Amino acid sequence: MSIFSCHRHAATAALIALALSGCGNDLQRSPDTAQVMLSLAVVPADVQCLRVTAVGPGRTAVREFEVPSGQAFSEALSGLPLGTIVFTGEAFAASCDALTRTTHGSWVSDEVSASVVLGRQASVALTMHRNGRVKVGVDFADEPACAAASASCQTNSECCGHSCAHGQCAAESGADAGTGVTSPDAG
């Protein structure tokens, strides 16, 4: 029997273990379909919906399950892609029907890769973490492409006038100051 289990760790994490099996007689499956059993030992109190995503080389399988808070839960997964698969998990405080594209999970897992082939068992463990969110601002401080006259330098290429003498950029001749662009009338 294939196993996909979740065990609660402290107050902030849960462990979800996937096992894909090519043997077992209690699950009916076709020979070309990978099937997984989803088992959560105890669903955290703030979880109503669990989403498991399996991304394969040719397709992606996403499954969402309404889960009972504070209770055990089991469900069979089938129709998963084969090959090198990236598994992720998300758990939500809202019901699955209430989820939108912008709904953020209250629990998330790291990506875990596994090779899923028929007839051979593969295991994947997803550790669920509380999903902290933050808004990050990024600013770009523009710097001049070259150093102006009298700036300290070590090589000619640092200076807008392409001349470094005695550790200082020499004044530009025939170039627009600060740009390194030669004027049309400069010889």
Domain CATH number, residue 26 = 2.60.40
Is 86 contained in some domain? yes
Q: What is the pLDDT of residue 117?
A: 80
> Do 156 and 77 belong together in one domain?
no
Query: Within 13 A of 100's CA, how many CA atoms are on the CB side?
Result: 1
Is 79 contained in some domain? yes
Q: What is the pLDDT of residue 47?
A: 93
Is 183 contained in some domain? no
Q: What is the pLDDT of residue 42?
A: 81
Q: How does pLDDT run across 124-179, given as a tens digit for each residue?
A: 777 789 998 889 999 988 888 899 999 999 999 999 999 999 999 998 765 444 44
> Do 119 and 172 belong together in one domain?
no
124: enclosing H helix or E strand: strand 122-130
> Do 50 and 121 belong together in one domain?
yes
Is 135 contained in some domain? no
Name residues of the chain where pLDDT drops below 50.
1-31, 175-187
Checking phi first, is residue 145 left (phi over 0); if not, alpha (psi -120 to 50) or beta?
alpha
Is 184 contained in some domain? no
> Do 41 and 124 belong together in one domain?
yes
> Do 69 and 100 belong together in one domain?
yes
How far is it, in rounded angstroms, from Cα 22 to Cα 55? 20
Look at the pTM and tell me if it is higher than 0.85: no
> Do 114 and 168 belong together in one domain?
no
SS3 135: coil
Q: What is the pLDDT of residue 22?
A: 35
Q: What is the pLDDT of residue 126?
A: 77
Domain housing 169: 145-177
Is 108 contained in some domain? yes
Q: How many domains does the chain have?
A: 2
Maximum Cα interatomic distance, the chain, rounded to a whole number of Å? 88
> Do 103 and 155 belong together in one domain?
no
